[in-house]
Structure 1
Amino acid sequence: MENDFWKPYRDKGLQVVAIDLAESAGLVKKYRDKHNITYPILLDPDQSIFSKIMGRATPWNIVVDQKGIIRYSVGGFSPGAIKSVVDGLLQGQAKS
């Protein structure tokens, strides 16, 4: 996410947020430091956020537009599909 989306798109208005389901704050910090991650990672140990977004697998990727509408939601990581949705949203073409 860092190099595929966050760095190239952040100046265009993209926000990236990760949600960790199991690790402690200390382990998440070590992971962020080791991998030079600069976007926020939220902790969700009771999976209250994850369950509300209907996540059924990890990783689970969601793209939300500026109006708060979920435009893409899928388990796994498909950079090409995510890039297509993000590019469309940034160009003003909402994709479902």
Structure 2
Amino acid sequence: MVKKRRLLIRTVILVILLAAVGYTLYANFTKDEGQKVAIGEKAPDFELVDLNGETHRLSDYEGQGVFLNFWGTYCKPCEKEMPYMEEQYQQFKDKGVQVLAVNVGESEFAVKKFAERHQLTFPIVIDSENDVQSAYGINPLPITFLIDKDGTVIKSFTGSLTSEKVEQFMKEIQP
């Protein structure tokens, strides 16, 4: 009697564990699939405020190429690519290509200190509510989206960028 009861309890626990593992796998493989940005589609519009208090809407940049970069101050690959983005921003900002760096919800203080330390002049906005990250399906960092003059996503790149890659990407979205 005791052995049967023990076997029943073990079986129930095993079934519950298998169900939990199955659900976790299912949830991870299907999460945010409807929200991810697809190449060739219109980039989801958003409105965020930069470190100077100015509002930036993605749709305001139509007619220009947009180098849309998602990053965090704690992200070493993000930090490594920032000087390259700044250098190419200076080269392309008067040629119809804009950089818009979206910080992933850190404090304004931390982001300002980071921008000052790296002497960044391109617009940096903070997605404090994580709405833009969700709309773009951001994970992991850094990730960059190239958006053409019509507002269409033409490419995305996950990982740290080199100076050459940033320049190549900016040429691709130059109107």
Number of residues of Structure 1 aligned to a counterpart in Structure 2 = 90
1:55-85, Cα deviation, whole Å (9 max, x unpaired): 2211110111111001111211334444334
Q: Structure 1: which 5+ runs fail to align? A: none
Which of 128, 152, 162 aligns to 1:45? It is: 128
2:173 corresponds to 1:89: yes
Identical aligned pairs, as a percentage? 27
Matches within 5 A, 1:7-86: 7-79=90-162, 80-86=164-170
**Cα drift, residue 86 of structure 1:** 2.6
Q: Structure 2: which 5+ runs fail to align? A: 1-84
Is this contact kept in 1: 2:146–2:173, CA < 8 A? no
**Cα drift, residue 40 of structure 1:** 1.1
2: distance between equivalents of 1:82 and 1:7? 12
1:10-66, Cα deviation, whole Å (9 max, x unpaired): 110111011111320111111111111001111113321012112221111011111
Superposition TM-score, scaled by structure 1 size = 0.80
Structure 2 letter corresponding to 1:84: Q
| Higher alpha-carbon Rg | 2
Structure 2 letter corresponding to 1:87: K
Structure 2 letter corresponding to 1:72: K
- Secondary structure of the residue aligned to 1:52 is helix
- Call closer, same or farther: CA 1:56–1:9 in 2, change over 3 Å: same
Structure 2 letter corresponding to 1:83: E
Superposed structure 1 runs of 4+ greater than 6 Å apart: none
Query: What value does the CA root-mean-square deviation take over the aligned residues?
Result: 1.7
